[in-house]
């Protein structure tokens, strides 16, 4: 079974998680990924809207695009309230109960940021009536961001450069517990680090590929159009994303999942079988699973956009999706091994 350079993987995961990248706010992380691709000795190309592609084994025939996205769910300033707090709206699937009490960074248009936290409008239990405290959480009604600044009104906030449309990123809170990894945004920065580790292995170990492989780092998966454009020569697309664990799921934090279907439609049956065959051949610990009712990957958007491609998806079992997520190095090892088995001779 292919073995990953785990020190490099963790180094890249830590660096990627440290860069805020709420969907739409992609430039800092795009600049980083381009520098890392260049350091690995590959050329890259930017997509016009945001995203990076690097080619391995150019001209190898039957091109495969592997995609891992770098955008995170987060918040955006909807309105500056009269008392100096911020009314916010979600970017991607960030439910208010998963955002409450988190530390955040609010970015101005000039790229500066100010810290704050997500709080209930009536945040102090001791002075809040029971009926108010029991109300369902709602960004439009009872959630706000409180800035760590001496601001008393909307004018004070706007003087900092904060206004409607400013992006808000949540603190990832990365921590290791044995071989478990806990953090926000393991979806999908674990996959991006796996892809980088694969690119490094191809270079360092002289691994021969069975076709042209385009590594795509997308920036818009969380809002549904990450791969709505891909190069015309692509024949197959493999998304690497989290495999959500749950009571009725096969996915396991110690295994890689080969996706059979998500909330949009089934994945390509023959390509799925190729991945299963590759897992068996390589001794990779895998399961198959279906993810509904609220899941899709970047591969889906290419199909919807009308590309004549096969699409499939794999990923490590991951708990607590879109919250404080957790995965295990075993699942990461198996995901890496299956990716490498599938693209190598």
- pLDDT tens digits, one per residue of 211-226: 999 999 999 999 999 9
Question: Are 160 and 288 in a shared domain?
Answer: no
Question: Are 196 and 57 in a shared domain?
Answer: yes
Last residue of one domain, picked from the residues 170, 201, 235:
170
Which residue out of 36, 221, 253, 325 is catalytically annotated?
221
Q: What's 72's DSSP letter? A: B
Question: Are 338 and 194 in a shared domain?
Answer: yes
CATH number at residue 82: 2.40.30.40
In the chain, % of residues over pLDDT 90? 100
Quick check: 91 and 75 in contact, CB under 8 A? yes
Torsion of CA 260, 264, 265, 270, to 10 degrees: -50
| Count of structural domains within the chain | 2
Question: Are 115 and 212 in a shared domain?
Answer: no
Question: Are 23 and 130 in a shared domain?
Answer: no
pLDDT tens digits along 85-97: 999 999 999 999 9
- Average per-residue pLDDT in the chain? 98
CATH number at residue 218: 3.40.630.10
Per-residue confidence (pLDDT) for residue 321, from 0 to 100: 98
Quick one: average pLDDT of 130-156? Answer: 97
Question: Are 54 and 91 in a shared domain?
Answer: no
What residue numbers bound the domain in which 267 lies?
6-72+185-343
Per-residue confidence (pLDDT) for residue 267, from 0 to 100: 98
Residue 321 CB partners (closer than 8 Å, separation 6+):
187, 242, 244
Quick check: 169 and 90 in contact, CB under 8 A? no
Q: Tell me the CA distances in angstroms from 74 to 119, 152, 245, 304, 323, one per residue in order.
A: 15, 25, 22, 25, 11
Quick one: average pLDDT of 128-150? Answer: 97
Ordered alpha helix ranges (H), the chain: 6-17, 27-39, 96-99, 130-133, 154-159, 186-205, 269-282, 298-304, 329-343
Active site residue 222: no
What is the Cα–Cα distance from 94 to 22, expressed in whole angstroms?
11
Residue 1 domain flag: no
Res. 265 pLDDT band, cuts 50 70 90 = very high
Per-residue confidence (pLDDT) for residue 323, from 0 to 100: 98
Question: Are 191 and 300 in a shared domain?
Answer: yes
Last residue of one domain, picked from the residues 170, 198, 226:
170
Res. 247 pLDDT band, cuts 50 70 90 = very high
Closest by CA position to 185, among listed 319, 323, 47, 288: 323
Per-residue confidence (pLDDT) for residue 342, from 0 to 100: 98
| Helices and strands (DSSP H and E) totals, the chain | 9, 18
In the chain, % of residues over pLDDT 70? 100
């Amino acid at each position: 079974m292919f073995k990953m350079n785990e020190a490099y993987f963790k180094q890249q995961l830590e660096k990627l998680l440290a860069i805020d990248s709420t969907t739409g706010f992609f430039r800092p992380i795009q600049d980083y990924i381009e520098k890392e691709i260049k350091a690995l000795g590959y050329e890259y190309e930017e997509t016009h809207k945001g995203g990076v592609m690097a080619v391995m084994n150019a001209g190898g025939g039957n091109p495969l695009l592997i995609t891992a996205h770098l955008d995170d769910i987060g918040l955006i300033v909807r309105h500056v309230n009269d008392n100096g707090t911020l009314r916010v709206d979600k970017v991607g699937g960030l439910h208010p109960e998963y955002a409450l009490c988190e530390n955040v960074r609010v970015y101005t248009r000039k790229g500066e940021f100010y810290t704050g936290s997500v709080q209930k409008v009536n945040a102090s239990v001791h002075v809040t009536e029971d009926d108010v405290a029991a109300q369902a959480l709602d960004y439009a009604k009872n959630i706000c961001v409180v800035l760590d600044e001496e601001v008393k009104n909307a004018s004070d906030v706007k003087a900092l450069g904060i206004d409607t449309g400013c992006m808000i990123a949540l603190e990832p809170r990365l921590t290791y517990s044995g071989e478990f990894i806990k953090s926000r945004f393991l979806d999908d920065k674990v996959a991006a680090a796996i892809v980088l580790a694969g690119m490094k292995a191809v270079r360092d170990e002289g691994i021969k590929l069975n076709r042209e492989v385009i590594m795509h780092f997308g920036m818009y998966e969380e809002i549904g159009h990450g791969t709505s454009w891909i190069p015309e020569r692509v024949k197959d697309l493999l998304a690497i994303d989290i495999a959500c664990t749950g009571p009725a799921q096969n996915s396991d934090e110690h295994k890689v999942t080969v996706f059979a279907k998500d909330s949009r439609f089934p994945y390509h049956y023959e390509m799925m079988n190729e991945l299963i065959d590759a897992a068996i051949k390589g001794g990779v610990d895998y399961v198959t699973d279906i993810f509904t009712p609220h899941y899709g990957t970047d591969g889906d958007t290419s199909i919807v956009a009308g590309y004549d491609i096969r699409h499939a998806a794999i990923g490590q079992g991951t708990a607590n999706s879109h919250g404080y997520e957790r995965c295990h190095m075993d699942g990461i090892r198996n995901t890496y091994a299956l990716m490498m088995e599938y693209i190598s001779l």
